[in-house]
A = this chain, B = another copy of it.
Amino acid sequence: MNTITQQHIQVGEIANGLPLTIPVYRLQGNGSGPNVYIQANMHGAEVQGNAVIYALLEQLKHLTLAGDITLVPYANPIGCNQKSGEFTLGRFDPITGVNWNRMYHDHNALVQHCLAEHGEDSDQALITAFRTQLCQATEALLDAPAHTLTTGKRIALTLQKLAHQADIVLDLHTGPISAKHLYCPEYATDSARYFDIPHVLLIPNEFDGAMDEASFCPWWQLSSALQAQGRDFPVAVEAFTVELGSQEKIDLDEAVEDANSILSYLTHKEVIADGSHQPKGIKRYACALKDYLTYYAPMGGMVEYKAPLGGHIKAGDCIARILRMEQYLSETPLHTLRLDKDAIAILHFASASVNQGTELYKFFTNYYEL
């Protein structure tokens, strides 16, 4: 049985001076396979990833590990414990409004620096050199005078330092009310076939502050820069945001399914030497990020959501009805919303009350079978 070790890492301090810490669990591989970093619950209400890490730990104890695996539940101790009414208000810093998953650092500037020094190195030496630079640059930001870092940046950088040490990075999230879906960098499309996740969003090489992007963008940049020089250098790191379903929900049986899906992918990547976890024979649909359609509430009102999540909508289908009881006699009290194109409904807003302009739905459009 593999040994699991635990460490508590400090990511900040709260107003009464107490440290904010996160638990880090580690299993050691035999060194022959890639290393893995998995975190969960960066957004406070997105708790199912903690259950998936639980289910992973329960299985990883008994598997043959080629690479090291680091797992971080409760990645954000502020978001995790911020209540407002019954719900967890953990999507953004309650003081500043900044999304906790938009504060990772963009290390793309290191690419030219690395190529200047190590552009002639072998692939493996180049990977080692660049990884070292990413880790050191992250460390340097953390070591800057304490008064130069925001609360969220300090948490993000501490996690990012762990992530840069790995070849594979999985950031476990959920939508509000949501079907399972996967954010996958375009170059890693093939890997998406090994997750048991029917909906795959293919994202381009653009940094927008999230953990997955912070992990893969520098490597993709490096690869592109070398390709421009005529050298074929595969992207050395794969990183995904795994959207496990709905927030504010723990389902331990489903967590086992989600863990199996991740183990299937890790088996494919030869992190796990046992062949017991294989992908399910499900249909997978892909959609380019530019075709991921956000549908905002065209009016204020009370919403009945009608599009089934994961369901394939035909152009003209009713996706929602909006009830407005303020002017029952003089205005139409019930409005039917329709989408003008075929789509898959991926997620919808968590509440039935919406202002005009609230994000109501997200849809895959122009999707295709993967």
Contacts and interface: CB of A to CB of B under 8 A. Distances in A.
Interface of A: 4-6, 12-18, 20, 23, 25, 44-45, 47, 50-51, 53-54, 57, 73-74, 77-78, 80-89, 91-99, 145-154, 176, 248-252, 295-304, 321, 323-331, 333-334, 337, 349-360
A80 B355 CA distance: 11
A164 B326 CA distance: 23
A45 B327 CA distance: 20
Given A87-B87, A99-B97, A358-B151, A300 B349 contact: no
A80 to B, nearest CB: 5
Given A351-B86, A353-B47, A295 B147 contact: yes
A327 B17 contact: yes
Contacts of A331: 17
A298 B143 CA distance: 12
Contact of A97 (B77, B97, B154): B97
A328 to B, nearest CB: 6
Given A51-B323, A97-B99, A18 B355 contact: no
Which of A145, A326, A337, A359 lies at the interface centre, i.e. has the most chain B CB atoms within 10 A of its CB? A326
A357 B151 contact: yes
A71 to B, nearest CB: 9
B85 A89 contact: yes
B83 A95 contact: yes
A149 B326 contact: no
A301 B252 CA distance: 14
Given A17-B300, A252-B321, A353-B45, A359 B150 contact: yes
A54 B325 contact: yes
B13 A350 contact: no
A323 B252 contact: yes
Given A97-B99, A328-B57, A16 B357 contact: no
B299 A251 contact: no
A313 B2 CA distance: 39
A117 B157 CA distance: 48
B325 A17 contact: yes
A250 B44 contact: no
A96 to B, nearest CB: 8
The 3 A-B residue pairs with the shortest CB-CB distance in the complex, in nearest-first order:
A151-B357, A13-B300, A146-B298
A248 B351 contact: yes
A133 B352 CA distance: 39
A183 to B, nearest CB: 19
Nearest to A252: B304
A144 to B, nearest CB: 11
B98 A302 contact: no
B50 A323 contact: yes
Contacts of A53: 325
B47 A352 contact: yes
Contacts of A145: 298
A340 B83 CA distance: 30
B17 A329 contact: no
A5 B298 CA distance: 28
A334 to B, nearest CB: 7
Given A296-B149, A357-B12, A358-B95, A352 B84 contact: no
